[in-house]
Each structure stands twice: as structure tokens, then as C-alpha cells.
Amino acid sequence: MEGAGIKYFLLQILKTFFPPACPLCSCTFPKNYSAPFCESCLAGFNPLPEAKCPRCSLPFSGISNSSHLCGRCIKQPPAYTRVYAVGFYDQSLRHAIHQFKFNGKVGLDWSLGTLLEQAIDSDLNIDLVVPVPLQRNRLQQRSYNQALLLARKVARIRKWPVVNDLLLKIRETESQQGLSAKERVKNLQGSFTLQKTISEQKILLIDDVMTTGATVAACSRVLIEGGAAQVYVAVIGRAA
């Protein structure tokens, strides 16, 4: 048997004993199924509506016209150009992110990263992919930065370079949970810095979830002030 034939043969044996399964609900995939999740899990992911802020992707309810900016982006335009999101941070997508982030299901990075890449305009050109950094004590607790795993997947598919040590979280901050939008901005002030010089690059900033957007806004500001030409943001879940 030729090398390629042996490889195919072994792959078939492997598939017989370990048939490909959905990384979220563990159901067995039908034959020749190639989507990152099963149909039922995918159906539970709610895409953002057409009507949303063109800048921060905040979904608008009850309006079909999506050409205007949301109130917050008009009042205080963010440093980033626009936000791409896989869907609403609710139901199955929220469950998937929680499994990935807190339950050690690191293997979800491939499936979630694949969906994230599909959410980004196919003609977008990027010079650097940068994950939102975790602060050191969280990294020690969790042992991995979920944003970096997602960044690596997207970057591998698009053949973009990832720079993990460009942004650094310098100040330990309280958890953002339970804080108002204003408090979140204040909590993050001066907490990120640049570790390397950049000039005129187009950057894709990656995080798992965007709620009020205070974190990605703070990171984008540091990148633009440091010399980036443009910052795009991509997240898995966007809170309404």
C-alpha cells in the first residue's frame, strides 16, 4: 500500500472507532458532515440582525434601517472601525463560550474559531491579529487565554500573523461583571499598554465576548494611539 493509501486506511479505522462528533453536545456527525457543530447546536446560535450599529454591532430592536450609529458610538466614537460577531451572546452560543472558557473544553477553539473566521468579511486585509490579553492572575487560574486560541485559529485560516505580546494588561482590575457601562470604562482606565512599537498596521483584535465593549474599546484606543492605522474587532458573542 502506498503512503497515502495507508493514511486513508488508518483514518477510516479511526473514524469507525471514534466517529466525528459535535464538540458541544457530543452527538455523532452524519457521514461527510463538515460544519464545526451539529445542525441542532448551530440552530441554537442566534445571528445578529441586519439592523445593528455599523460600528459596534449593537443590535437594534424593531427597526429595519441599520445605517445609523448607536447612541453610544455617536456620543463617544470608539477607536475601532467595526465589530464582527458570530452571534448573540445567549443560549447555545453562551453555553459554548462557557464550556470553552471555564470548563476546560479547549478543543472548542477549532469550531468556535472556524465560525469566527466565517463572520469576518472575506475581503478584509489585516497585517496583525492581536488577542485581548488576560491579566496574569487569571492566566494562572485558567492556564490559557481563550482569545489567543481563537486568534490563532482565525489567523491560520487567513494566513495572517498573530502577535500575542503586543498588548499587555498592566493593571489588575476588578471583574467587569456586575459593573455598569460607565464603571467598566473607569475600571479599565490605564490597564492596557503596548509592549512593542507599531506603525500604520491594520489590526484585528480578538476576544471571546463583547458586552458593553469597554475592553475592546480600551485595547483599540491603546493600539491607535500607539500608531495602528485601523483596528477591527472580532468576537464570538455580542451581548445586546
Residues that bind Zn ion (CB under 5 A): 22, 24-25, 38, 41, 53, 55-56, 58, 70, 73
The three-state DSSP-derived secondary structure of 183-236 is: HHHHHHCCCEEECCCCCCCEEEEEEEEECCCHHHHHHHHHHHHCCCCEEEEEEE
Q: Which CB atom, from 82 or from 156, has the smaller least distance to Zn ion?
A: 82
Give residue 99's Cα distance to chain centre: 15
Q: Which CB atom, from 56 or from 214, has the smaller least distance to Zn ion?
A: 56
Residue 56 Cβ vs Zn ion, minimum distance, rounded to whole Å: 3
Residue 186 Cβ vs Zn ion, minimum distance, rounded to whole Å: 20
Q: Which CB atom, from 10 or from 74, has the smaller least distance to Zn ion?
A: 74
Residue 173 Cβ vs Zn ion, minimum distance, rounded to whole Å: 23
How does DSSP classify residue 125? -
- Closest by alpha carbon to 20, among 34, 8, 4, 6? 34
Residue type, 16: T
Residue 42 Cβ vs Zn ion, minimum distance, rounded to whole Å: 8
Q: CA 211 to CA 89: how far, in whole Å?
A: 8
Residue 54 Cβ vs Zn ion, minimum distance, rounded to whole Å: 8
* Helix, strand and coil in the chain, % to nearest 5: 35, 15, 45
Q: Which CB atom, from 203 or from 216, has the smaller least distance to Zn ion?
A: 216
How does DSSP classify residue 57? -
* DSSP E strand boundaries for 103-149: 128-131
| 202 neighbors 125 (Cβ within 8 angstroms) | yes
Q: Which CB atom, from 38 or from 132, has the smaller least distance to Zn ion?
A: 38
Residue 27 Cβ vs Zn ion, minimum distance, rounded to whole Å: 5
Start-to-end CA distance of the chain, whole Å, equals 56
Q: Which CB atom, from 48 or from 53, has the smaller least distance to Zn ion?
A: 53
